[in-house]
Amino acid sequence: MDVRFGPEEQIVWPASVLAGILMCAAVYDITREVSSRCYKGYNGLNELHKLEWNNRGFSTFHALVAAVVSFYLLVISDLFSKDVHGAIIIDRKSWMSDAMFGVSLGYFLTDLLMILWHFPSLGGKEYLLHHGLSMYAISLALLSGKGHVYILMVLITEATTPFVNLRWYLDLAGRKDSKLYLYNGVALFAGWLVARVILFVYFFAHVYLHFDQVRTVFPLGFYSMMAVPPAMSAMNLLWFRKICKGMVKAMSSANRSQCVKTD
């Protein structure tokens, strides 16, 4: 694997990773301050719940940034448009994709360290696996300059994270019977279906249609591309199964409540 570490990368890579770490620290503190002033129930939480509350604050922020930047690079910009650039799609990259990967590495590193320090309170083994695979894949793409298009596709799936976090917030606040909880559950189901199920189908179809380019990637990158996405897709399907069960349960509960009111 040839590492592309030119003058631009020497600035962008370390700066973006540091920015990701500082982003987490800043949003963590902002979440704590805003929550303590605007939500009365926050001060009544135990220390572990406060920790996770603030942690999910920077998790949500990173998810929004990652999804927006990835969508821009994939859909709005011409970075991966056909007949626009001379390089094959698998080799295309930009300073913005490098920066986004660096910020995401900073986020995943910070979150992973918090999970390990408080294990298993902030997440179990599946979170360790998810974060580990994410950091591995992003690092490989960043160092080699290969496969940025596929990492960006995966980062778009972070768009579902705010719905997951809102569900946790509402649950902790005792709002499971609220309409907002129900609507968020429906949005989570739809978002997960689109971003983490259907998008992965498109991902694999894209790899298949551009397999001649994928085969040009160095061996470790090629075999990683064949192994990591299916593993993450399998995890997404397992989580989607849980989401479906939760939504059915919530809908059934809402219907029963409506029937009681009608009677």
Q: Residues 183, 237: contact at Cβ < 8 Å?
A: no
d(CA 253, CA 177): 8
Torsions phi, psi for 227 (to 5 deg): -110, -45
Distance CA 125, CA 170 (A): 24
DSSP assignment, residue 98?
H
Contact residues for 47 (Cβ-Cβ < 8 A; gap 6+): none
Which pLDDT tens digits describe the chain residue by residue (263 residues)?
778 778 888 899 999 999 999 999 999 999 999 999 999 999 999 999 999 999 999 999 999 999 999 999 999 999 998 777 678 999 999 999 999 999 999 999 999 999 999 999 999 999 999 999 999 999 999 999 999 999 999 999 999 999 999 999 999 999 988 899 989 999 999 999 999 999 999 999 999 999 999 999 999 999 999 999 999 999 999 999 999 988 887 777 766 666 655 55
Q: Are 69 and 96 in contact (CB under 8 A)?
A: yes
Global pTM? 0.93
What is the rounded distance in angstroms from the CA atom of residue 33 to the CA atom of residue 22? Answer: 17
